[in-house]
Amino acid sequence: MRLELNFRVIALFLTVVTVAIFLAACTPDTVSPPDLADAAHVYSNDCASCHREDRTGDHGKNITQPELSDFTEASLEAFLLDHKTAKNLTPEQVAIMANWLKTTS
């Protein structure tokens, strides 16, 4: 019984550590400065670590144009405002990013 409990504690600990490492990998090392208006640069800094440079997804979802077809720019902006890394962006940057995601392949 005691041995089984120890294995469960170890398994739980390893799971928590694995999840923490996974989440840390999706946190950008640099956050775009507030005056940055270049969406491609913002994406490269803040999004590509999870969604890949080509936007096909890795830890994050596929966010290529076909996958975003159901989003309007306004609904995409609303989504981005609540997204982990986009919370560091200004509303103007979020609007620029939403437009870039919808219009750039």
Q: Dump pLDDT digits (tens) for 4-36.
A: 667 777 777 777 666 655 555 554 544 444 444
The pLDDT of residue 33: 45
pLDDT above 70 covers a percentage of the chain that reads 72
Which CATH number does the domain housing residue 83 bear?
Answer: 1.10.760.10
Tell me which residue range forms the domain holding 56. Answer: 2-103
pLDDT above 90 covers a percentage of the chain that reads 10
Higher pLDDT, 5 or 48: 48
How far does CA 52 lie from the centroid of its chain?
10
The pTM score is 0.61
Burial of 85 (0-12, 13-18, 19+ CB in 10 A): buried
Task: Give me the number of domains the chain comprises.
Answer: 1
Mean local confidence (pLDDT), 51-55: 91
